Structure 1
Amino acid sequence: MARIVVIGAGMGAMTAAARLAVAGHRVVVHERSHTYGGAVGRVERDGFGFDTGPALLHLPAVYRDLFVKTGKQPLEDLVELSQVEPAVRHVFADGTTTDLPNASRAGVSDALDAALGSGAGALWSAFMNRAREAWDRTRRPLLEEPLWPNWQVLADREPYPSVARRRLLRKERRAATLAEIGAFELDGEPRLCALLEHFALAHGLDPRTAPASAAVLPYLEQTFGSWSVRGGLRALADAVYERCLARRVEFAFGSAVSRIVVKDGRTAGVELADGTVVDADFVVAGVPPRALESMLSDATGPGTGTPAPVRAPGGVPAQSGLPSRLTVLLALRGARPDGTPHRTVLHTPDRADELDRVFGPRPGLPAAPTLAVLRPDDAASRPDADHEAVTLTATVPAGATVTDADVRGLVERAESAVPDLRDRLLWHEVRTPADVEEATGAVGGAVPAPALAAAGGRLLHPANSTAVAGLFAAGGWAHPGGGLPHAGMSGTLVAGLIVEGPEFRGSQ
């Protein structure tokens, strides 16, 4: 039985902890805050409840597998999962509206034909067929296996089978970015392009530079569906935490780790902020890159006099330049009308301005950003049937300063999806990039994106193994990256590497 210290109680870290405890190890989690879940937070006030991080679950199979492998009670016995129907309502800049069904390729095609005109569904379906090829080619190496030692193969090889386009007097062109897929393969239809590009923006990626392999993002959502959890996704974090406790994982909250102790090139434990040293055979760090670098900044082997590296030479660097999220929580009087979509996406009228401001060269909040309006049909989110909880979310630059005028602008925009919103408003709370930074430790409140192939490897994440023996990385800032499914898989991979050793090749 090994002694294992886990730094942080995010979803990836707790997944690793539960699996390692089942394997017979003694696991202690040290969390600097006074709760668990990381980005999966919750605000409760006056009978209202709001998720402050992710609000929908995609690819629930990752967490189903966790509960199957760590106990007798399956996930569905512990949390109430429901497929959201429709999956989403899109309101495009020209006012066109379409409701897309959940996990139905044919249904999405029909809905697009009805809203955008005959042929739109066929264009989208053909694109999704190509996206499926990209998913099939990258699913295992980017989600289910430890990062390949020859990860440069993933960096250099574009898995999306772009369609060649030959134009009069011009050379043949193939889409290299998500935006070019829209221009070349969706015939530049502005609403189809907006639909496609919003998947990149929602994950913190610029569609103008995101590789064509980002086609897997809409494929994943529209194939495996969007799921809500009664009580919000915080209920999923509660269930993972309770499973950890059932497997005798120990938690120390308000227990910040200041240093990872390294002896003879191998982790030997951690030093806490109060100076206490906790011995360990393995350390799992579920923290952002800057925090991990800081914990290792003075971790030196005897006589070496040099900082212990986090990554092996030639390893994948951490993602950088990623944006954050602005979230506004609205407590409303009045019942949620029957038939209201769980999620509505209000597309920006000026996408070029939005992308320039979120990703540069004109940093700042867009005047009218793409806005997700979440109106869950969940009795646990409101004090009674005569009230409603609504959440507004926009992608904004990391570290952005948010003014009262910015918040008022979002609320005014949301009124097109929530009639009489301002008249119904009881109170609101705002979660800015600074709040995200406080909750997660990520610089500027940046949110990690899922790992993607191609693009020279800039959208890969550092491997779960590190150059320091016995030190592993889990969570959204390690392979395979951000998002609930990916964070869960990072914990699975770390547990496999510790239990089975470097020969571990992932789930079968």
Structure 2
Amino acid sequence: MARIAVIGAGMGAMAAAARLAIAGHRVAVFERAAAPGGSLGRLTRDGFAFDTGPGLLHLPAVYRDLFLKTGKESLEQCVGLRQVDPASSHVFADGTSVALPNASRAGVVTALDAAVGAGAGERWSELVNRARAVWDATRRPLLEEPLAADAAARQALGRDPYPAVRGRGLFRRRTPATLESVAARELRDPRLVALLESHALAYGLDPRTAPASATVLPYLEQTFGSWYVEGGMRALADALYERCLARRVEFRLGQEVVRLVEKDGRAAGVELADGTAAEADLVVAAVSPGRLDALAPGVAERTGGLLPAAPPGRFSVFLALRGARPRGSAHRTVVHGPDRGAELSAVFDGGARPYRPTVTVLRPDDPASRPDDGHEAVTLTATVAPHGRVDWRDERAVAAFADRMADAAEAVVPALRERLLWREVRTPADTEAATGAEGGGVPAPVLAGAGGALLRPANTTRLPGLYLAGGFAHPGGGLAHAGMSGALVAGLVVEGKDFRGSQ
């Protein structure tokens, strides 16, 4: 039985802690915040409640497996989990709107044909079918197995497995370089292009440079569905915290780790801000690259695959509205920005021209989100440049950006301003302050292709006894991927070098 110190109490960290505890280890989690859960925060005020992080769960099988492996109660016995239908609605720049049913390939085809024109649904379906080849080729090596250390294996993951349509003419090229190329060649209609690219943008990926394998993102959503946790997504973090406590994981909340203790060339514990130390046989760090480098100078450089700069962040506006949520309102609607070039330049290139962003409008039909049925809680989110590239502490700039998001949302929530009681805003600067992630950046899931640029550091490190979990480690960001990182770390600790991946 080993003593294991876990730095951070996000979903990846707690997933690792629960699995390690059930394997018989003594696990202590050190979290500088007052509550566990990482990005799954909850804002409450005047009877309204809002999720401050992810609004939906994809690939719920990851958490079903976690709860199955760590206790008697299943995931559904611990939280109310339901599919949202439609999975999403979209309002395109030309005013076209479409509602896409949840986990129904035929339904999506019909809806796109009706909204965009005959043949649109089939073109989309053919692209999603090709994306299945990406899923089949990368599911094990990218999501269920430890990231291989040998150069040949990493080089293989740097190749894009998307089976692109061959072009016409003498010089036919089999593999397009980017998601943008796929969209232009295979979808053609600007509304379908916006639909595809919005999946990448939501994860902070630039469609102009993201590999074609990013088509797997809409494939996963369309195939496995979109799910909401009743009472808010925060309830998932609370359930995992309770599972950890039931497995006798010790939580030391409000205690910041300031240094990784090394002894005899291996990780041997952590030092806290109050000057005390906690000895450990193994350490699991679920922190950003910058925080890891601060805790253990030089270790981050040796992990490999770290992001060279902070990824894009999330800008959220929380709206408390008078008046009931209209019956039949979609849980999630994406209002696409009218100027793709300006938006991508601002998010990824440092462009400064004002633009109206692509805005996701979340309107959960959840009594726990509102004081009564005569009110409604609405959340607006947009992917934006990280703090530092934009000064997200500039109150005037923040207010102006929130106003532009509200302008977009009025396409979905008529008379929004007349219904508004109050609003609160969260920017990447707030995320940075709360989590320590540089620039408030939100890491994207790993993807094959792009020469391996979108891989993350392996869960093992060159410092014996130190493991990495969470969104900044393999297999990257997102709720499902965080859960997978915990499973991989636990497997590596329990089975060692013989571990070949989750089953």
TM band (smaller chain):
over 0.9
Q: Equivalents in 1 of 2:398, 2:319: separation in Å?
A: 17
Moved more, 145-154 or 264-273: 145-154
From 319, 331, 356, the counterpart of 2:320: 331
User: For residues 330-351 of structure 1, what are the alpha-carbon distances to aligned partners after superposition, in whole Å with 9 as ceiling and x for unaligned?
Assistant: 0001100100000010001110
State the AA in 1 paired with 2:76. Answer: E
State the AA in 1 paired with 2:485. Answer: S
Following superposition, the deviation at residue 174 of structure 1 comes to 3.7
Residue in structure 2 matched with residue 58 of structure 1 by the alignment: 58
Q: Equivalents in 2 of 1:214, 1:158: separation in Å?
A: 10
Q: Can you give the 5+ residue segments of structure 2 that lack an aligned partner in the other structure?
A: none
- The answer (yes or no) to whether the contact 1:145–1:493 under 8 Å persists in 2 is yes
SS in 2 for 1:468: coil
SS in 1 for 2:255: coil
Residue in structure 2 matched with residue 341 of structure 1 by the alignment: 330
Q: Equivalents in 2 of 1:171, 1:104: separation in Å?
A: 34
Residue in structure 1 matched with residue 160 of structure 2 by the alignment: 158
Residue in structure 2 matched with residue 316 of structure 1 by the alignment: 305
Residue in structure 1 matched with residue 416 of structure 2 by the alignment: 421
- The answer (yes or no) to whether the contact 2:6–2:285 under 8 Å persists in 1 is yes
Following superposition, the deviation at residue 415 of structure 1 comes to 1.1
Following superposition, the deviation at residue 407 of structure 1 comes to 1.3
Alignment of 1:192-231 (within 5 A): 192-231=192-231
Alignment of 1:354-373 (within 5 A): 354-363=343-352, 366-373=354-361
SS in 1 for 2:498: coil
The structure 1 segments of at least 4 consecutive aligned residues displaced by more than 2 Å after TM superposition are 150-156, 169-174, 309-313, 315-321, 400-403
SS in 1 for 2:461: coil
Alignment of 1:44-443 (within 5 A): 44-150=44-150, 151-167=153-169, 172=173, 174-186=175-187, 188-297=188-297, 307=298, 309-310=299-300, 312=302, 315-318=304-307, 320-363=309-352, 366-399=354-387, 400=390, 401=392, 402-443=397-438
State the AA in 1 paired with 2:184. Answer: A
Q: Does 1:499 align with 2:487?
A: no
Q: Does 1:444 align with 2:444?
A: no
- The answer (yes or no) to whether the contact 2:155–2:451 under 8 Å persists in 1 is no
SS in 2 for 1:251: strand
State the AA in 1 paired with 2:447. Answer: L
- The answer (yes or no) to whether the contact 2:356–2:405 under 8 Å persists in 1 is yes
- The answer (yes or no) to whether the contact 2:30–2:251 under 8 Å persists in 1 is yes
Task: Specify whether residues 126 and 474 from structure 1 end up closer, same or farther in structure 2 by C-alpha distance, changes over 3 A only.
Answer: same
TM-score, normalized by length of structure 1?
0.95
Following superposition, the deviation at residue 154 of structure 1 comes to 3.6
State the AA in 2 paired with 1:61. Answer: A
Q: Equivalents in 1 of 2:100, 2:8: separation in Å?
A: 37
State the AA in 1 paired with 2:247. Answer: R
Q: Equivalents in 2 of 1:320, 1:77: separation in Å?
A: 41
Q: Equivalents in 1 of 2:321, 2:16: separation in Å?
A: 39
Q: Equivalents in 2 of 1:240, 1:311: separation in Å?
A: 32
Moved more, 141-150 or 477-486: 141-150
User: For residues 67-119 of structure 1, what are the alpha-carbon distances to aligned partners after superposition, in whole Å with 9 as ceiling and x for unaligned?
Assistant: 00000000001100110000111000100010000011111111101111110
Following superposition, the deviation at residue 317 of structure 1 comes to 2.7
State the AA in 1 paired with 2:290. Answer: R
Q: Equivalents in 2 of 1:127, 1:491: separation in Å?
A: 32
Following superposition, the deviation at residue 320 of structure 1 comes to 3.1
State the AA in 2 paired with 1:152. Answer: R
Q: Does 1:488 align with 2:486?
A: no
Q: Does 1:460 align with 2:455?
A: yes
TM-score, normalized by length of structure 2?
0.96
Q: Equivalents in 1 of 2:220, 2:456: separation in Å?
A: 19
Q: Equivalents in 2 of 1:455, 1:363: separation in Å?
A: 27
Q: How many residues align?
A: 494
Residue in structure 1 matched with residue 24 of structure 2 by the alignment: 24
Following superposition, the deviation at residue 312 of structure 1 comes to 4.3
Q: Equivalents in 1 of 2:398, 2:122: separation in Å?
A: 43
SS in 2 for 1:502: helix
Q: Equivalents in 1 of 2:249, 2:175: separation in Å?
A: 51
User: For residues 116-139 of structure 1, what are the alpha-carbon distances to aligned partners after superposition, in whole Å with 9 as ceiling and x for unaligned?
Assistant: 111001101110110000110001
- The answer (yes or no) to whether the contact 1:2–1:26 under 8 Å persists in 2 is yes
User: For residues 134-164 of structure 1, what are the alpha-carbon distances to aligned partners after superposition, in whole Å with 9 as ceiling and x for unaligned?
Assistant: 1100011111111011342344321111111
Q: What is the RMSD of the two structures over their aligned residues, measured on CA atoms?
A: 1.3
- The answer (yes or no) to whether the contact 1:319–1:448 under 8 Å persists in 2 is no
Q: Equivalents in 2 of 1:66, 1:19: separation in Å?
A: 8
State the AA in 1 paired with 2:163. Answer: P
Following superposition, the deviation at residue 173 of structure 1 comes to 6.0
State the AA in 1 paired with 2:316. Answer: T
- The answer (yes or no) to whether the contact 2:166–2:172 under 8 Å persists in 1 is no
- The answer (yes or no) to whether the contact 1:363–1:397 under 8 Å persists in 2 is no
- The answer (yes or no) to whether the contact 1:123–1:185 under 8 Å persists in 2 is yes
- The answer (yes or no) to whether the contact 2:289–2:306 under 8 Å persists in 1 is no
Q: Equivalents in 2 of 1:317, 1:479: separation in Å?
A: 10
Give the share of equivalent positions with the same residue, in percent. Answer: 65
User: For residues 302-335 of structure 1, what are the alpha-carbon distances to aligned partners after superposition, in whole Å with 9 as ceiling and x for unaligned?
Assistant: xxxxx5x34647x323363411010000000110
SS in 1 for 2:67: helix
- The answer (yes or no) to whether the contact 2:369–2:377 under 8 Å persists in 1 is yes
Residue in structure 2 matched with residue 304 of structure 1 by the alignment: none
SS in 1 for 2:215: helix
Q: Can you give the 5+ residue segments of structure 1 that lack an aligned partner in the other structure?
A: 298-306
Q: Equivalents in 1 of 2:328, 2:85: separation in Å?
A: 9
User: For residues 256-276 of structure 1, what are the alpha-carbon distances to aligned partners after superposition, in whole Å with 9 as ceiling and x for unaligned?
Assistant: 111111112111111111111
Moved more, 366-375 or 152-161: 152-161
- The answer (yes or no) to whether the contact 2:155–2:452 under 8 Å persists in 1 is no
Residue in structure 2 matched with residue 300 of structure 1 by the alignment: none
- The answer (yes or no) to whether the contact 1:481–1:487 under 8 Å persists in 2 is yes
State the AA in 2 paired with 1:106. Answer: A
SS in 2 for 1:139: helix
